[in-house]
Structures are given as structure tokens and as C-alpha cells.
Amino acid sequence: MKKNIAVVGCGHWGKNLVRNFSGLEVLAAVCDPNVELAQKYATDYKVKSLSFAEIVGDESIEGVVLAVPAPFHASLAVAAMKAGKHVYVEKPLAMNQIEAREMIDTSKEKNVQLMVGHLLQYHPVFVAVLDLVKTGKLGNLNYIYSNRLSFGKVRSEEDVIWSFAPHDISMILSLTGQEPRSVRTESSNILQSSVADIATLHLEFQFGLKAHISLSWINPCKEQKLVVIGESAMIVFDDTQPWDQKLALYAHGIGLSGDVPHLEKSEVQYVEVAQSEPLKNECQHFLDVVNGHLTPLTDGGEGLRVLNVLSAATLSKNSNNVVEINAV
């Protein structure tokens, strides 16, 4: 197996990427501003510890994985792509649309691929959810909501919206097949005066479809749940449950007693999904992109659409108004 992938950033999340690319037998080098940390992982995984400049200049390295703070995403990704490297950058794609478009334009100009780490797109259970929706098992969608709640880790460089919401926005855009027309954000700054710790995003789409996303990193219990309500069935993706109970389908219906609607409850059905690690799937996908020059499932365009919603949500939070979104 050709060792052609370098991971830049060996910290909180980067160490998981290092582990997975090493497990796939393609890790060539690691890089981190903390040279001692980089050397530790280089020793543990028997690879080189290189500076970013050395990675960019190494012709044997074809793919660069960026697990660095979001303000560095654009500059490092552009530098790597200008050197002819394919790039996988963790979410969010960039800090704003100008940076994102520069990244996308550079990937096209240099004929390399740009992939963003929207992990749940590679989760087998979400893949099954998306299949149920696309094959019409739920009928027309009526409402979607997602809860991403936990106790820590608190951040100061980004708020809970930018830290947690990219995953949920990415899933909701895939399920609806469209971008929202508007977003309204409610938030609370509890631990730090300038950083939102709790937030709820209300999204409105065409034809009356609505969705909301609840976020918190000071919730006493961990919750990672996506609920999709259709006209003929409902599904719940609860990632805190055991694997065989992560995807529940409820064939609830709506009946009429005269002119009065009533709900017809059904028993839960757990949908069988083959188990695999989402991050390993995502890393394998990037490896396939690098070796086969495929277009990533979560490419720069998908990252930009998510970024548009994030930016609108922040504008709504700051202005306390509904913000219209222009599709890209």
C-alpha cells in the first residue's frame, strides 16, 4: 500500500485521523506546531514528523489532511492544493464565503480535489436514513429536527453553532435536497460573554418544510438525535443508542374522525444497518478520492452550502432577526 497521506494537526481530533490513516496503511507523515507531540505520534506510528513546508514540498505525499483550527483552514488548504495535493479539511470548510470560494477555485485551477469533514455523511445509519427518505418510505417530509447536546468540551475560538451545527446542517441539506430560504437563531451566552453556549436554529425551506437544530455544550446529558417526520412514517437516528437500536422507524399514520384528525400509533421497528466506524469510512473515502481522483461526497460545494447556513445563523444571532439565505 502506498503511504501517501499526511495529517496536519495531532490534537483533540487530529489524533483520531492519524490513527485511522495509519490503520489504512497509508500514513506517510504527521505535522503539528507542538513538535514534541508530532514526534510522539511519528514514533508511535513509525512515520516521519515533518513541517508543513516539508509536507507541501514532498512529491510522494498526494493527500493532506487538515485538523487545525478553522482560521487556518483556507491558507493551509490553498497552499497544499497549489502544490498539487488533494486536501481533506475538517469542518467548517472555512471562516467565510470568500475563503471558501478561494479554496474551491484553487482546487479547480490545480485539478485537485477538496473534501470537507462532515463525518455523519459517512455514518452507515445516516446513509440508511437518507435511503429511506429518497426511496419515499416516509412520504413527503413534514418536519426535521436535530439535537446535539453534551457537557463540554467548551471552546473559546468558536461558539456552539460553528462547533456543533455543521454536522446537522449537512444532514438536513442532504435530506431535503435543497438549501433553506431563511434561518432564525436563538442563543444564550452563559459561560463566556461573547460565545454562545446554547443555540437553536430554525430553518425554513420551500413548500412549507421546516427544521430546527438544538445545540448545547452545557447540557447534563449527551444527546445526538435526528428525527425525520414524513406524511406516512417517522424515523429516529439516535447515535447514543446501541448499534442495533440506532435507527428506529415508526409507521405512525394520521386518520380522520369526521373532520377531526387523529394520530394512529404503531410499534417501533428497528432498521438493521451493517456496522462500521464512520471516521474510518470517511478516511477511506478520501483515500479513494486521492487514488482514484473521484469527486468527494462532501466536496467544496457542499461545504460552502453548509457555510452559508452557518454564516446566516450567526448573522441572525447577532441581529436577532430572521436572515434570508441566497442559494449557491
223 and 316 assigned to the same domain: yes
157 pLDDT more than 80: no
| Ranges 101-115, 160-174, 249-263: which has the least confidence | 249-263
pLDDT tens, residue by residue, 33-48: 999 999 999 999 999 9
What pLDDT was estimated at residue 253? 66
107 and 125 assigned to the same domain: no
**Residue 130, phi then psi, degrees to nearest 5:** -60, -40
Q: Which of 84, 112, 140 is the last residue in one of the domains?
A: 112
**303 lies in some domain:** no
CATH number at residue 86: 3.40.50.720
| Under 8 Å between Cβ of 83 and 55 | no
**71 lies in some domain:** yes
**291 lies in some domain:** no
CATH number at residue 225: 3.30.360.10
255 and 158 assigned to the same domain: yes
Cα torsion angle, 52, 301, 150, 247, sign: negative
Closest CA to 179 of 216, 205, 159, 161: 205
**296 lies in some domain:** no
Closest CA to 174 of 207, 141, 216, 215: 141
167 and 100 assigned to the same domain: no
105 and 141 assigned to the same domain: no
165 and 264 assigned to the same domain: yes
C-alpha cell at 126: 445516516
**Residue 306, phi then psi, degrees to nearest 5:** -65, -40
76 and 201 assigned to the same domain: no
Range of the domain at 225: 121-277+308-324
pLDDT tens, residue by residue, 246-301: 999 998 766 656 667 767 777 899 999 999 999 999 999 999 999 997 899 999 99
What pLDDT was estimated at residue 39? 96
